[in-house]
Amino acid sequence: MTLQSLIEALIGLFFLINSLFKFIKFDIFLTTVLSYNLFVNVRAAFAAGMTIVFFEFVAGMTLIFGWEPWASLLASALLLSFALVVCVTLSRANPPSSCGCWPAKNSRPLGWYLCLFNLTLVMLLSPSFGLCSTNEAILASSCLAILTSVVYRVEMQYRSTKLEKT
């Protein structure tokens, strides 16, 4: 097993576990999908939520079993789509409080750091497309991970300061 195969399998496990949690706690996930205010009714949000769960499961399984480059392409498409949804949602006046990544009452808050986190995962998958070597992907992903941590800390500090003022 190569280092790149291991990275892909670990990201696949991340997708697989994530999809199973969303499926098991679908009511909480559906509430989060609705809070993004992207769908006109509950039926559309339900269909979108089930589609997300299905494709996350497929991406996870295909990454684990090494069906490259299609697995990385699907996973990257999901990650970039979510990053786009986060950017659009955060640009609105009232973004939801939870990202919905792990459907739980104490899920992580929605923030710009999620866009960077997803880009980090896409960068780790990029050698599957022949865009760079595994070592280059790890180096770039490390830089993005550091930036993600900084942005997360700044966002959380900003939110706590904002809450103290109210």
Q: How far is Cα 31 from Cα 79, in angstroms, rounded to an integer?
A: 20
Q: What is residue 10's predicted lDDT score, i.e. its pLDDT?
A: 94
Q: What is the CA radius of gyration of the chain?
A: 16
Tell which residue, 59, 50, 58, has the closest CA to residue 11.
Answer: 59
Q: How far apart are CA 10 and CA 62, in angstroms?
A: 12
**C-alpha distance from residue 92 to each of 37, 80, 131, 156 (Å):** 10, 19, 34, 19
**pLDDT for residue 53:** 96
One pLDDT digit (tens) per residue for the chain, 166 residues? 799 999 999 999 999 999 999 999 999 899 888 888 888 899 999 999 999 999 999 999 999 999 988 999 999 999 999 999 988 888 887 776 677 776 666 667 788 888 899 999 999 999 988 888 999 999 999 999 999 999 988 988 887 787 677 6
Whole-number pLDDT of residue 163: 66
Q: 155, 112 in Cβ contact below 8 A?
A: yes
- Structurally, the chain folds into a number of domains equal to 1
Q: Which domain holds residue 128?
A: 3-165
Q: How many CB atoms lie within 10 A of CB 63?
A: 28
The answer to whether the predicted template modeling score (pTM) of the entire model surpasses 0.85 is yes
